[in-house]
Amino acid sequence: MTLRSLYVAVNSSTTNDEGGLFSEDNSGTIELEYAPRANFALRLQYTKALIDNTDISAFGINGEYAFNRTTAFFGRFGIGNYDGFNSAIDRDLNLQPYTWAVGVSWRDLVLPGTLTGIAIGQPFVEEDLGDATQTNFEAFYKLQLSDNLSISPIVQLIDNANNDSSNGITWQATIRTSFTF
């Protein structure tokens, strides 16, 4: 078993009463991973946050299973509670959204040391916010250039961004560079 945690505070370097390590706009997450075999992992997450005057609590579960050395499947599901007046959208919230994603990844596709993946998911399913549900489609190709450097071109298609049907389809391309040490 592995336990991980993360804490983020916006304006943490502010010296007045409105900033600091435990001020408004902060988020903490804890994750417990159970990986009894090299080809299987199950993770439980809990997040507690205060963002734009909204109190957020969320639980999640995700799992990964490798069918063989090259092909793996993953799935994620989460449910949360958003409560309070959200200053970013100027609205009082009392929501219980859920999120989900599924995908497949392949190792060593075309080149040794690469990781390729495709996924589909809905990051915020909640009928009381917006007139549609945002759906994300993603494809990536991670090239391991050295032991400490990788580059990943990513293409995303986002339908009904921000749960708004008037937003239609948005294409997004990203190049992620990762340095490890």
Q: In this structure, are residues 89 and 80 in contact, taking their beta carbons and an 8 Å threshold? A: no
Residue-range domain boundaries for the chain: 1-96, 99-181
Q: What is the tens place of the pLDDT at every residue in 122-180?
A: 999 998 888 999 999 999 999 999 989 999 999 999 999 999 999 989 999 999 999 98
Q: What is the tens place of the pLDDT at every residue in 89-135?
A: 888 889 999 999 999 999 999 998 899 999 999 999 998 888 999 99
Closest CA to 9 of 89, 19, 30: 19
What pLDDT does 65 receive? 97
pLDDT band, very low/low/confident/very high, at 75 (cuts 50, 70, 90) = very high
Q: Whole-model pTM? A: 0.83
